Amino acid sequence: MTFVNYSASIAQSKGRAPIRAEDTAALRGLRLFDGIAEATFADLIAAGYLQFFPPGVTLIRERDPADFLHVVIEGTVELYAGSGGRETTMEFIRPVGAFILAAVLSDQIYLQSARTLTRARILMIPAERVRHWMAQDAGFMRMIVAELARGYRQAIKALKNQKLRTGAERLANWLITQSALQGTPGYVDLDIEKRVLAARLGMTPENLSRALASLAIHGVHSRGALIEIKDPAALAGFAKPDPLVDAPE
Amino acid sequence: MTFVNYSASIAQSKGRAPIRAEDTAALRGLRLFDGIAEATFADLIAAGYLQFFPPGVTLIRERDPADFLHVVIEGTVELYAGSGGRETTMEFIRPVGAFILAAVLSDQIYLQSARTLTRARILMIPAERVRHWMAQDAGFMRMIVAELARGYRQAIKALKNQKLRTGAERLANWLITQSALQGTPGYVDLDIEKRVLAARLGMTPENLSRALASLAIHGVHSRGALIEIKDPAALAGFAKPDPLVDAPE
DNA sequence: GTATTATATTGATCTGGATCAAATACCCAA
DNA sequence: TTGGGTATTTGATCCAGATCAATATAATAC
């Protein structure tokens, strides 16, 4: 994994990565752009950059001033943060999700860094434009309020998850949620590395291995990236899933 | 500590706890009401209840639908949450702070419960009024966006604090932040019980005692509710404070 | 296909933190 | 002022999780 910082060069080169007409229609369908004025949408898009990034690219770094609103159109982005030499994964952003709105809106520095885990298509809109249109277009501001509220509640859930559960419980609940999201009741197909999942769940890779092994008595068996859930009821009995912690916002 | 639920009875009795003229001026000064239209303010206040609660009163309970926006005018309120039999403290709300805006705005259930730790004066505004005026008054919506962004960033910081630090480190950083907030460089005066602080820091009361004792080598000594910081530099050397985790939003 | 490198697992050990139990200190009401 | 209840501290023990080390497995480049 190479850590080349592409974002700096993109921010400079204004003319690059124009948005093609065929993409515009797809973008119009995003929840964040629902019900906003046509003029607002047109200007945001005109000012934005839509671009592919290879895996492992650092898109933003905590402590930097928020210069762009990023929207993931395709691929997976990892939000992570560090302090005092340690590092942890905060969240994964998948299509279609924005990050990190709060810093952009209040013109502050980022609290989290972001890197691509896969090849990813990212829409980047200059922060100043977002703030400008938020003030102009009430419909856009309504969408922003909804998105912010969603992000806030997600963060609260993550904090509850971390403070109220053991590692094995977090893993068990993650498996339940994930198998539901993927629509595959009997198993979960990992599309991220286990070391990244471990960081997301707040544990070391070694401990994730052991936690996974410990779930065998509840019918969980893993073969590589495929994790089989033989008895969902038994797993739920151990995990005690709680919508106020686990349900995605 | 008695756990009487006052809020239910208040929600029913429309006529109770009217807001006196002398209070209105003070409320006008709140950040949340800054720069909003006079009509908006007047109606929000007219629809609201301003009321004293004794200590230990449960104001809201997680899982309940968000019926009121609460604003702490005086006293201290504890936000807490539970799952699977465990319980933890999420945050303290002190004047002037609102909770829990996100649930009110998106008309959802609360993710957290709230109880008074001290005698407290709370302004309660019906959720429906807040949503109504948010849609009408752009200035009010701007304030809401700012408050939501603040809450989101605070939650992210709390999550980083929890995932990236040991208990003793969280305590050390809390002491540093608190002594700065209180404006007393050499000490911290606890205005909450240690068991509550322990929950807030994500540890047991026993462990808080031991963590406090372990900070003695960094010049921290406690006598009851007074915690002395003999050598702030030494303490900071251990705590490694980080504005991206510790600075209040 | 094989060498190379990164990822994942397993084992041993150590530390952080929880739990259980008991003693002490504190607060408040009679 | 004196009890009685609660909060805090201290000690002993146990469990969760981190770290260190070694091996096995998978992915990748050549």
**Measuring from the CA of residue B203 to each C1', which nucleotide is nearest?**
C17
Taking an 8 Å cut-off on Cβ atoms, the answer to whether A111 and B148 are in contact is no
Classify residue B215: in a domain, yes or no: yes
Determine the average pLDDT of the residues in A171-176.
98
- C18: residue with closest CA to C1': B204
- D9: residue with closest CA to C1': B209
- Checking if the pLDDT of A165 tops 70, the result is yes
- Checking if the pLDDT of A205 tops 50, the result is yes
Same domain as B171, residue B100: no
Taking an 8 Å cut-off on Cβ atoms, the answer to whether B84 and A169 are in contact is yes
| Total number of domains in chain B | 2
Taking an 8 Å cut-off on Cβ atoms, the answer to whether A149 and B148 are in contact is yes
At position A72, the amino acid (one-letter code) is V
Same domain as B175, residue B125: no
Classify residue A203: in a domain, yes or no: yes
Same domain as B76, residue B47: yes
Give nucleotides in strand C with any atom < 7 A to a protein C-beta: 6-12, 16-21, 25-27
Q: What is the pLDDT of residue B92?
A: 97
Domain boundary among A129, A162, A195: A162
| Cα B86 to Cα B124: distance, rounded to the nearest angstrom | 29
Domain boundary among B146, B162, B178: B162
Q: What is the pLDDT of residue B17?
A: 60
**Measuring from the CA of residue A198 to each C1', which nucleotide is nearest?**
C8
Q: What is the pLDDT of residue A56?
A: 93
Does residue A12 or residue B211 have the better pLDDT? Answer: B211
| Cα B201 to Cα B195: distance, rounded to the nearest angstrom | 10
Classify residue A190: in a domain, yes or no: yes
Same domain as B193, residue B149: no
Classify residue A1: in a domain, yes or no: no
Classify residue B3: in a domain, yes or no: no
- Angle at which helices B38-47 and B127-136 pack, to 10 degrees? 170
CATH number at residue B197: 1.10.10.10
- SS3 string, A104-125, reads HHCCCECCCEEEECCCEEEEEE
Mind telling me how many Å the CA of B6 is from chain A's nearest CA?
24
Same domain as B154, residue B178: no
Does residue A3 or residue A69 have the better pLDDT? Answer: A69
Q: What is the pLDDT of residue B48?
A: 92
Q: What is the pLDDT of residue A12?
A: 39
Residue B209 contacts A where some CB pair is shorter than 8 Å: no
Same domain as A157, residue A174: no
Closest by Cα among A241, A44, A19, A31 to A129: A44
Q: What is the pLDDT of residue B129?
A: 96
Dmax of chain A from CA atoms? 58
B154 CB contacts (<8 Å, ≥6 apart)? B91, B248, B249
Does residue B127 or residue A7 have the better pLDDT? Answer: B127
Q: How many CB pairs under 8 A join A and B?
A: 142
Q: What is the pLDDT of residue B26?
A: 79
Same domain as B193, residue B130: no
Interface of B with A in 35-74 (CB under 8 A): 62-63
Residue B207 contacts A where some CB pair is shorter than 8 Å: no
Same domain as A156, residue A171: no
Same domain as B202, residue B147: no
Classify residue A3: in a domain, yes or no: no
Residue A93 contacts B where some CB pair is shorter than 8 Å: no
The pLDDT confidence band at residue A22, using thresholds 50, 70 and 90, is confident
Taking an 8 Å cut-off on Cβ atoms, the answer to whether B164 and A63 are in contact is no
Residues of B in contact with A159 (CB under 8 A): 90, 155, 158-159, 162
Query: Residues of chain B whose pLDDT is less than 50?
Result: 1-15
What would the pLDDT profile of A23-59 be if each residue is shown by its tens digit? 788 788 788 888 899 999 999 999 999 999 999 999 9
Domain range for A142: 8-162
Tell me what the pLDDT averaged over chain A comes to: 90
Q: What is the pLDDT of residue A27?
A: 85
Q: Residue B153's closest chain A neighbor by CA?
A: A102
B18 CB contacts (<8 Å, ≥6 apart)? B49
- The distance (Å) linking the CA of B1 with the C1' of C29 is 15
Q: What is the pLDDT of residue A17?
A: 59
Residues of B in contact with A105 (CB under 8 A): 145-146, 149
Classify residue A211: in a domain, yes or no: yes
Determine the average pLDDT of the residues in A179-204.
96
Same domain as B74, residue B100: yes
- Checking if the pLDDT of A66 tops 50, the result is yes
CATH number at residue B12: 2.60.120.10
Classify residue A2: in a domain, yes or no: no
Same domain as A210, residue A143: no
From the list A101, A111, A164, which residue is nearest B157 (CB)?
A111
Taking an 8 Å cut-off on Cβ atoms, the answer to whether A112 and B156 are in contact is yes
Same domain as B92, residue B22: yes
